[in-house]
Structure 1
């Protein structure tokens, strides 16, 4: 199965990126996963720009969405919402329907509970509007994982939760 992991952080190589890389590593023997974290480089969406044509980098990203069997979106929470770069990426895909019927696992990866609840709701609202298939909501906290030298490791109980979420994503 081809999985696309999207880091929704405004920071390149953020903890959300490294968390997706840890998932990628944990499933490498079973599934192909690409981790994408360049949405911060997308130009700002406007209807006028859309009329002029979709920029090449955004078109390539949209093709990655279409080619994926499933998607994992991991996001932090900024001011009780998803980061503007993630919202911008979603807006570039809204009119063309790349997320329609796509199986998606939304993850909020934040410092500690209860952070992430508002970001999750915001992300779900956008994805449901585009008719994405949400397999489950997955809040994850930095206090739940081991972070060493920008590498994230999952304790057994968290790995079991991730495995269950991935099972739902892939079936």
Structure 2
């Protein structure tokens, strides 16, 4: 299975990227994985920009999405919602429809409970509007994992959750 992991964070040093790298590393034993973290480079979506032509970096992400069997998108929670860069990505994808029927696993990765819950609900509404095939959902917290030298180590229960989810 080809799995594309997308960080919905606006930070270049995001813990969401580190979390996705840990997930991708674990899943790479049985799947092809890639972590994409460049949403902060996208220009702001406007209908005028769409009519002028889609920027190359957005077309490259669209191709990655089309070629993936599963998309895992991890987001932090900013003001009880998803970051603007993630919403911007969704707006660039709305017209072209890459997420239509695509298997998507939306997750949050935040400091501690209950953060992430509002962002996940908002994110799911956007994914449903694009008719993505949401296969599950999960809130994860920094307290669930171990950081060693700025790398995240996944505990066995999280590894087993992903293994079980991808057996379906």
TM category, shorter: over 0.9
Counting only pairs closer than 5 Å after superposition, residues 10-159 of structure 1 correspond to structure 2 as 10-159=10-159
SS in structure 2 at match of 1:35: strand
State the 1:148 CA deviation. Answer: 1.5
The runs of 5 or more residues in structure 2 that have no matched partner are none
**TM superposition score normalised by structure 2:** 0.97
CA distance in 2, matches of 1:118, 1:99: 22
Deviations 1:8-62 (A, max 9, x none): 0000131100111101111112100110000000000000000000001111111
Is residue 13–residue 37 contact of structure 1 (8 Å, CA) maintained in 2?
Answer: no
SS at 2:3 equivalent: strand
May I ask how many residue pairs the two structures share in their alignment? 168
CA RMSD after TM alignment: 0.9
**Off by >6 Å, runs of 4+ in structure 1:** none
